[in-house]
Amino acid sequence: MAQTETEIFDELKANTDREQFLDMQERGIYDQFLSIQAATLAYDQRIADEWVRQTNLVTATDSDYIKKLATPLYVWRTSSWSLVILTFRRARNQLGEVINSDDINIPASTIIEAGTLNPKEYITIEDAWIYEGEDYCRVMARSVNPGASSTVSPNQLTIISKNALPDVTVTNEQSSWGGYDEETTDEIKKGALSSRMLFDKVTDAGIRNQMAAILGIPQWRYNLVDNYVGPGTGAIYFDTDVDEEMELIQKRVELAEGIMKYVGGVEELPVKFKLEFSVAQKGDILPNVRDQLRIDGNTAFLKFVTRNGVGQKFYLSHAASWLVYSLEFQYKLYGVKITHDADENICDADGNIILEDNQVIRPTSVVVSIDAS
C-alpha cells in the first residue's frame, strides 16, 4: 500500500543522522530537500500500486473480484425489465356487440401472458379505465423477469392470467423495448480497461505505460495507433522476425482484448520527411539552440509518427499542431511546415497519408530546417 508524503518524510528523517551536523538554516534547506524526495517517492508508489491494480484486472477471472477492481472505473449495465404498451379493448359477442358498455377498470398488477410454450409474463404498473363511450385504453406494463429473454414481438401478449376480466381483450400492438442482460464478466473487464486507458491518455505517456506494463516489452519495439477499436483503445505493430516472440505478444494482447488489437501482416511504408520551423527571433539563433531545436523537433515528430502512423490517415496538420504544442514553451515558433516524399497515390489533396489497416509509416530520414529571419 502506498505511503503518504508525511509518512515517507518522517521515515527519511528517522533514517538519517545528518541534522546533528547542520545549523538551523541548513536544516530548513535539508527539510525542503527531504519533502521533495518524499513527494516524488509517494507519487511513484501510487503509480506502482495503480499498475498492480490494472495488471490484476487484466488477469482476473473471478466475477466478483473483477467487479471490485472495475469500480469506479466503469459502471456496467445490469439486467433490466422489458417495457411494453398494452391495449385493452371491450370484448364483443359473436354478433359483434359490446358485452359491457359501462366503465371497466383494469387494476394495477394485472398479469398478461404470451401464448407460447414458455410464457412470458408482463404486469401492468398502474390502474387503467375504459370509460363509458370509449372502446379501448392503453397502459404500460413491464416484464415480470428481467433480461433480453423477456422481450416480445407485436401481438404476443394476449392472455389475462390474473384479475379475471371477462369483458375485455388485450394485446400489444408494438414490440417491447428495454430488456437487457447484465454485462458479462469479459464485457465488464473490457469496459473497465478501456475507461482506464482513456483516463490515462490525459498524460502523454499514459497509454504507452499501460501497453508496456501489459506487453512487458520496451516501447521502442512497437508502434501504436490510438482509438483503433473504439475510444481508449490501441492497435500495435510489433517489430520482430521471431515466430515464438510474436506468438507470446499475441497471447498477451488477447489477455487485454478490449483495449488492444493485434495488427498482423503489417506492410512498412518508407517515407522521407522534412520539417521546416520558423522561429520568431531576429537574426540567427545561437548554434547550440539551433542544434537543440533540431534534436527536439526530430524527437517530437518521431514520437507523433509512432503514435499515429499505423492503420489510419496520417494528418500533417495534426503533426504540425503536435510539434507546436511540444516545442512552443522552449522556442518562439510561429510556423511549422511538414513535407514528405510519399507516393501521391496514397495521399489526399492536402498531402495527408492514407494508411490501410496493415500499413505502418517508417521514417527513413527526417530533415529539420530552421528559418530564424
182 neighbors 191 (Cβ within 8 angstroms)? no
Reply yes or no on whether the pLDDT at 229 is more than 50.
Answer: no
Q: Which residue has the higher pLDDT, 225 or 232?
A: 225
Q: Determine the Cα–Cα distance for residues 342 and 352; give it in Å rounded to an integer.
A: 10
Reply yes or no on whether the pLDDT at 153 is more than 50.
Answer: yes
| Nearest residue to 262 via CA among 302, 196, 216, 215 | 215
Q: 53 Cβ partners below 8 Å, 6+ apart? A: 69
3-state secondary structure of 271: strand
Query: How much is the pLDDT for 240?
Result: 64
Q: Tell me the β-bridge partners of 262.
A: 236
Write down the pTM of the prediction: 0.40
Query: How much is the pLDDT for 304?
Result: 81
Query: How much is the pLDDT for 129?
Result: 92
Q: Characterize the bridge pairing of strands 260-262 and 234-238.
A: parallel
| pLDDT per position as a tens digit, 44-74 | 666 666 655 655 677 777 788 778 777 766 7
Q: In whole angstroms, how far apart are CA 237 and each of 6, 104, 211, 298?
A: 43, 69, 12, 21
Q: Determine the Cα–Cα distance for residues 322 and 318; give it in Å rounded to an integer.
A: 6
Query: How much is the pLDDT for 32?
Result: 63
Query: How much is the pLDDT for 232?
Result: 46
Cell of 263: 495488427
